[in-house]
Amino acid sequence: MKRVMAVDYGDARTGIAISDLLCSITGSTTVIHSRDQDKTLEKIGELVRANDVDRIVVGLPKNMDGSEGPRAALCRAFAARLEEATGLRVALWDERRTTVEAHNILSQHNYHGKRRKDTVDAVAASLILEGYLGFLGR
């Protein structure tokens, strides 16, 4: 079985989480620091190839009432470009509250300031991945 990658897309930082070979837990995480969408897509493509990924899930930021705002439209457009760039099917996953949960997790482990800023997107991507893997396992 090949790996699943989760993407928490952001304007300046994009969190990446990649499953283990069994697709049961998060195996690795990283953050791509770039405001250039083309560079972000290129780096994700490199990670896909290097980690034998065959499925990608992108977090879709919905409002608490389930509606979609401008940020969701940006993520949908990014997911479409990612699908085109990698040739892989890209799923969208409701990411409501993942960033809030990521901040809570980091606070509990004394990650503050720059250390938290550099990590929160990877933790959010891990939460997206865990939710999606749980869905696949059902």
> Which tokens go with 116?
């938290």
Please count the other Cβ atoms lying within 10 Å of the Cβ belonging to residue 45. Answer: 16
Mean pLDDT of 95-100: 75
- Per cent of the chain over pLDDT 70 is 94
Query: What is the arithmetic mean of pLDDT over 102-111?
Result: 74
Encode pLDDT of 113-134 as tens digits.
766 677 888 888 999 999 999 9
Which has the minimum average pLDDT: 1-5, 30-34, 37-41, 99-103? 99-103
Q: pTM, whole model, 2 decimals?
A: 0.88
CA–CA distance, 41 with 86 (Å, rounded to integer): 9
Distance CA 123, CA 116 (A): 10
pLDDT at residue 1, rounded to an integer: 64
> Whole-angstrom Cα distance, residue 95 to residue 98?
6
Indicate the average pLDDT of the chain. Answer: 89
pLDDT tens-digit readout, 45-87: 999 999 999 999 999 998 888 888 898 999 999 999 999 999 9
Give the chain's domains with CATH numbers. Answer: 3-137 (3.30.420.140)
Distances (CA, A) of 37 to 10, 41, 47: 9, 6, 15
If one counts every other C-beta atom within 10 angstroms of the C-beta of residue 84, the result is 11
DSSP state at residue 75: H
Where does 93-137 have alpha helices with state H? 98-108, 113-117, 120-137
